[in-house]
């Protein structure tokens, strides 16, 4: 097997919060606990999970916006999380990000042209003005924007238009890998489809690999090739889209999939969970899901389950499945 | 030209046109600035040139009034002071010096404040704690106290002669350095709000360095509160300079600012020569008042929460 494009190895991310400066043990939020995953070239890797489960933190850690507390991030086999700013520059060119909120992700004081030119001028200072202009035009057209928008400011555009500008900015430097952090959750449904199509077109034409973060499972089914399900900072199931949707293994994934709203009434048998998601400041012992899991037993309370590969390629972290109780 | 046209059609200009206080304040300030700028052309005498001063002309009242022992003289529109210096010229030149000190002191404040505020807000953590505690300490000592101590020590150790030459520079530096926390705190607050927005993350993802992000992305988004405090700070700096001059620590009497004029005339106020101190005081008060009124108006207009239709 060839080396994956991006590999996340045993990442932990702990935030210290609050506490005053004399307090020795500051309260800690364990946002990501021992997550490992591989993203192969050409994939659209989807990361799903409910709010606060660490999806965005993981994405930001991969992009270098946050430093992992432990673990490694590799790009084509080379470790990148410990590089100095200057050594990391070539990877900034290869990895780009699309943000969640199109109203905050464009600098309000800059024209669209300036925003789009900046990455080019920074990474390719030798490019002539004419080439830069042509490139901006080409990318703008490819995401379905009118290149003449350049002179205008972000507040003159709608959410969908801004998100397409945001996508254009990410594509300016011809990246190989794009992280999209809930790029469509701030848009209304008709625009969501449009933006998704723009992203899929770009993937086809530019040979992109995506790490796509979302909580919308129907989008995953439509868009993703591989899916990772996260719960409370841990990865509980990893499978290709078809396998996951047809045969969800982990109890949490099963519950999550049963919660997808459907038009037909026969299937209205949501599995309901009791209780709430525990606080990441005070993680449950053993499996993080044990106090809400219908299959939990003593072992689940004691021992943290590891992600185990099954014969059809899916990987699941669950004692019950391993022991054959489900 | 098109930029000027868009400015004329902007909301900002519309608000300005419809607010009489702002219009009047702006016109008065503009007049004062022009008067200060063209003082050498406008004033009939050069008050800094001792050869143009005749002691025989001393204490002549303004043209519209007369006292028991002196008659008004047509040459001196606003009268003369105790040395026979023409008050109109002295005020114009004094205005020039006061405004110069005010503006440059604000430039110093702004430079220091922006740099420290940006770094402290963007870096956070210990750097932030250090600079903000420094600002707290600075704010707990009043500007006047610092200025008086520094200027008095300087005068005592280097002599009054050197001090007279360096007075403008020293005043600018002292007032500038003593008031940087105002700017630093304002900038820091805006930076804290801006730095978590996604466009800053986007700039980091591009790979831009921290100084570039601070100056090119965050700073332009923090400028509108700066404009507001700048107007207030110019007024404050002019007042500080006047107060210091009044105490004898500011501009020397040979090259007087408004403050030194008021101070020099103060001893004559009960001897009947009221104009020597009153007229420069009125000029100072009008200048400060109009700047503050314009500053208030700017704050209202630039604050979207106080939007008035």
Q: Please determine, for residue A1, whether its predicted confidence score (pLDDT) is greater than 60.
A: no
CA atoms within 13 A on the CB side of B159: 3
The residue-averaged pLDDT of B222-232 equals 86
Question: Tell me, what's the pLDDT at A176?
Answer: 92
d(CA B84, CA B82): 6
What residues of chain A have any CB closer than 8 angstroms to a CB in chain B? 60, 63-65, 85, 88-89, 92-93, 95-97, 99-101, 104-110, 118-119, 122-123, 166, 169, 173
Q: Please determine, for residue B306, whether its predicted confidence score (pLDDT) is greater than 50.
A: yes
Which ipTM was obtained for this model? 0.87
In the sheet with A6-16, reading across from the earlier edge strand, the strands are: A28-39, A6-16, A70-75, A78-79
Angstrom CA distances, B235 to A103, B61, B103, B246, stand at 38, 30, 9, 16
List Cβ neighbours of A238 (8 Å cut-off, separation of 6 or more). A37, A226, A227, A228, A229, A307, A314, A315, A316
CB A139 within 8 A of CB A145: no
d(CA A90, CA A278): 40
Tell me if A109 and B197 make a contact (CB, 8 A cut-off): no
The residue-averaged pLDDT of A175-193 equals 89
User: Is pTM, for the whole model, over 0.95?
Assistant: no
d(CA B231, CA B106): 9
Question: Tell me, what's the pLDDT at B82?
Answer: 76
Instruction: Count structural domains, chain B.
Output: 1
Q: Please determine, for residue B50, whether its predicted confidence score (pLDDT) is greater than 80.
A: no
A197-211, A258-272, B67-81: range with highest mean pLDDT: A197-211
What is the percentage of chain B residues whose pLDDT exceeds 70?
A: 96
Q: Helices B87-123 and B275-302, interaxial angle, to 10°? A: 30
Nearest chain A residue to B224 by CA: give it.
A109
The residue-averaged pLDDT of B242-250 equals 86
Question: Tell me, what's the pLDDT at B133?
Answer: 93
Q: How confident is the model at residue B154 (pLDDT cuts 50, 70, 90)?
A: confident
Q: How confident is the model at residue A170 (pLDDT cuts 50, 70, 90)?
A: very high
**pLDDT tens digit sequence for B53-87:** 777 777 777 777 766 666 777 777 787 777 778 88
Tell me if A92 and B207 make a contact (CB, 8 A cut-off): yes
Question: Tell me, what's the pLDDT at B309?
Answer: 44
DSSP 3-state assignment of A227? strand
Q: How confident is the model at residue B305 (pLDDT cuts 50, 70, 90)?
A: low
Q: How confident is the model at residue A186 (pLDDT cuts 50, 70, 90)?
A: confident
Residue B29 lies in a domain: no
Vertex A14, ends A85 and A36: CA angle to 5°? 80
Surface-to-core class of residue B274, CB atoms within 10 Å of its CB (0-12 exposed, 13-18 middle, 19+ buried): middle
d(CA A119, CA A132): 10
Q: Which residues of B touch A95 (CB under 8 A)?
A: 205
Average pLDDT, chain A: 87
**pLDDT tens digit sequence for B91-124:** 898 899 999 999 999 999 999 999 999 999 998 8
d(CA A202, CA B115): 41
Out of B199, B207, B208, the one facing A105 most closely (by C-beta) is B199
Residue B252 lies in a domain: yes
d(CA B18, CA B14): 6
d(CA A80, CA B272): 82
The residue-averaged pLDDT of A54-78 equals 90
Question: Tell me, what's the pLDDT at B262?
Answer: 86
Q: Backbone phi, then psi, for A68, in 5-degree steps? A: -65, 145
Question: Tell me, what's the pLDDT at B288?
Answer: 93
Tell me if A109 and B221 make a contact (CB, 8 A cut-off): yes
DSSP 3-state assignment of B11? helix
Out of B202, B208, B220, the one facing A105 most closely (by C-beta) is B202
d(CA A198, CA A202): 6
H or E stretch at A193: helix A189-206
Question: Tell me, what's the pLDDT at A281?
Answer: 83
Q: CB of B133 within 8 Å of any CB in chain A?
A: no
What is the percentage of chain A residues whose pLDDT exceeds 90?
A: 27
Q: How confident is the model at residue A210 (pLDDT cuts 50, 70, 90)?
A: very high
Burial state string for B199-229 with b = 16 or more CB within 10 A and e = fewer than 16: bbbbbbbbbbeeeebbebbbbebbeebbebb
Tokens of B184: 């630093």
Residue B100 lies in a domain: yes
Residue B120 lies in a domain: yes
Question: Tell me, what's the pLDDT at B223?
Answer: 84
Tokens of B78: 């606003």
Q: Which of A61-70, A269-278, B166-175 has the lowest mean pLDDT?
A: A269-278
The residue-averaged pLDDT of B148-158 equals 88
Smallest CA–CA distance, residue A306 to chain B, in Å, is 32
Q: Please determine, for residue A149, whether its predicted confidence score (pLDDT) is greater than 80.
A: yes
CB B214 within 8 A of CB B122: yes
d(CA A173, CA B195): 24
CB A287 within 8 A of CB A298: no
CB A46 within 8 A of CB A226: yes
Its domain, for residue B242, covers: 78-306
The residue-averaged pLDDT of A124-138 equals 90
Q: Please determine, for residue A268, whether its predicted confidence score (pLDDT) is greater than 90.
A: no
The residue-averaged pLDDT of A75-97 equals 89
Tell me if B207 and A89 make a contact (CB, 8 A cut-off): yes
Tell me if A109 and B220 make a contact (CB, 8 A cut-off): yes
Residue B202 lies in a domain: yes
DSSP 8-state class, residue A4:
P
Average pLDDT, chain B: 85
| A45 beta partners | A211, A226
Question: Tell me, what's the pLDDT at A213?
Answer: 92
Nearest chain A residue to B194 by CA: give it.
A104
Interface probe with A: pick from B2, B207, B226, most Cβ of A within 10 Å: B207
More confident position, B6 or A271:
B6
Interface probe with A: pick from B11, B130, B198, B211, most Cβ of A within 10 Å: B198
Q: How confident is the model at residue A266 (pLDDT cuts 50, 70, 90)?
A: low
d(CA A187, CA A189): 7
Surface-to-core class of residue A114, CB atoms within 10 Å of its CB (0-12 exposed, 13-18 middle, 19+ buried): middle
Question: Tell me, what's the pLDDT at B289?
Answer: 94
Q: Please determine, for residue B3, whether its predicted confidence score (pLDDT) is greater than 90.
A: no
Q: Where are the domains of chain A?
A: 247-326
Residue B119 lies in a domain: yes
- Selected residues 195-224 of chain B with any CB under 8 Å from a CB in chain A: 197-199, 201-209, 217, 220-221
Residue B6 lies in a domain: no
Residue B262 lies in a domain: yes
Q: Please determine, for residue A80, whether its predicted confidence score (pLDDT) is greater than 60.
A: yes
CB B171 within 8 A of CB B251: yes
């Amino acid at each position: 097997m060839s080396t994956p494009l991006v590999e996340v190895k045993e990442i932990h991310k702990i935030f210290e919060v609050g506490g005053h400066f004399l307090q020795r043990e500051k309260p800690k939020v364990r946002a990501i606990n021992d997550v490992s995953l591989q993203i192969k070239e050409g994939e659209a890797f989807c990361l799903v999970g409910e709010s606060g489960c660490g999806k965005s933190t993981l994405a930001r850690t991969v992009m270098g916006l946050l430093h992992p507390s432990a673990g490694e991030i590799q790009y084509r086999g080379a470790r990148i999380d410990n590089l100095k700013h200057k050594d990391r520059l070539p990877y900034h060119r290869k990895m780009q990000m699309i943000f969640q909120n199109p109203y905050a992700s464009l600098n309000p004081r800059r024209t669209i042209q300036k925003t789009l030119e900046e990455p080019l001028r920074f990474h390719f200072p030798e490019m002539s003005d004419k080439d830069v202009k042509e490139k901006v035009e080409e990318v703008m057209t490819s995401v379905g924007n009118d290149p003449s928008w350049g002179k205008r400011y972000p507040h003159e555009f709608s959410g969908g238009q801004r998100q397409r500008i945001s996508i254009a900015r990410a594509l300016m430097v011809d990246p190989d890998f794009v992280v999209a952090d809930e790029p469509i959750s701030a848009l209304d449904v008709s625009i969501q489809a449009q933006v998704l199509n723009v992203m899929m077109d770009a993937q086809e034409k530019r040979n992109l690999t995506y790490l796509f973060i979302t909580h919308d499972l129907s989008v995953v089914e439509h868009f993703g090739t591989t899916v990772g399900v996260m719960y409370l900072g841990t990865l509980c199931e990893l499978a290709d889209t078809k396998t996951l949707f047809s045969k969800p293994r982990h109890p949490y994934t099963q519950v999550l999939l049963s919660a997808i709203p459907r038009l037909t009434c026969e299937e209205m048998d949501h599995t309901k969970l009791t209780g709430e998601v525990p606080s990441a400041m005070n993680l449950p012992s053993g499996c993080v899901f044990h106090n809400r899991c219908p299959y939990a037993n003593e072992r689940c309370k004691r021992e943290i389950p590891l992600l185990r590969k099954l014969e059809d390629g899916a990987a699941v972290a669950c004692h019950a499945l391993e022991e054959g109780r489900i | 030209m098109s930029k000027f046209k868009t400015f004329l059609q902007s909301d900002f200009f519309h608000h300005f046109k419809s607010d009489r206080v702002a219009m009047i304040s702006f016109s008065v300030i503009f007049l004062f600035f022009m008067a200060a700028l063209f003082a050498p052309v406008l004033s009939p005498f050069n008050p800094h040139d001792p050869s143009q001063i005749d002691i025989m002309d001393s204490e002549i009242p303004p043209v519209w009034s007369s006292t028991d022992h002196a008659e008004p003289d047509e040459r001196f529109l606003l009268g003369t002071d105790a040395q026979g210096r023409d008050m109109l010229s002295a005020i114009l030149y004094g205005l020039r010096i006061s405004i110069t000190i005010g503006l440059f002191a604000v430039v110093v404040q702004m430079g220091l404040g922006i740099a420290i505020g940006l770094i402290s807000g963007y870096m956070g953590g210990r750097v932030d704690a250090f600079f903000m505690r420094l600002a707290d300490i600075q704010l707990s000592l009043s500007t006047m106290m610092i200025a008086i101590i520094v200027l008095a020590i300087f005068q005592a150790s280097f002599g009054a002669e050197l001090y007279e030459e360096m007075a403008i520079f020293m005043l600018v530096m002292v007032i500038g350095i003593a008031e940087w926390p105002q700017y630093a705190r304002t900038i820091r607050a805006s930076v804290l709000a801006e730095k978590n927005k996604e466009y800053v993350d986007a700039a980091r993802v591009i790979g831009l360095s921290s100084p570039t992000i601070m100056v090119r992305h965050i700073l332009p988004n923090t400028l509108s509160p700066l404009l507001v405090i700048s107007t207030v700070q110019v007024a404050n700096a002019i007042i500080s300079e006047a107060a210091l001059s009044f105490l004898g620590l500011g501009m020397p009497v040979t090259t007087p600012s408004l403050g030194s004029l008021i101070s020099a005339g103060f001893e004559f106020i009960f001897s009947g020569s009221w104009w020597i101190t009153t007229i420069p005081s009125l000029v100072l008060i009008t200048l400060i008042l109009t700047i503050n009124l314009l500053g208030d108006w700017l704050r209202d207009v630039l604050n979207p929460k106080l939007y008035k239709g």
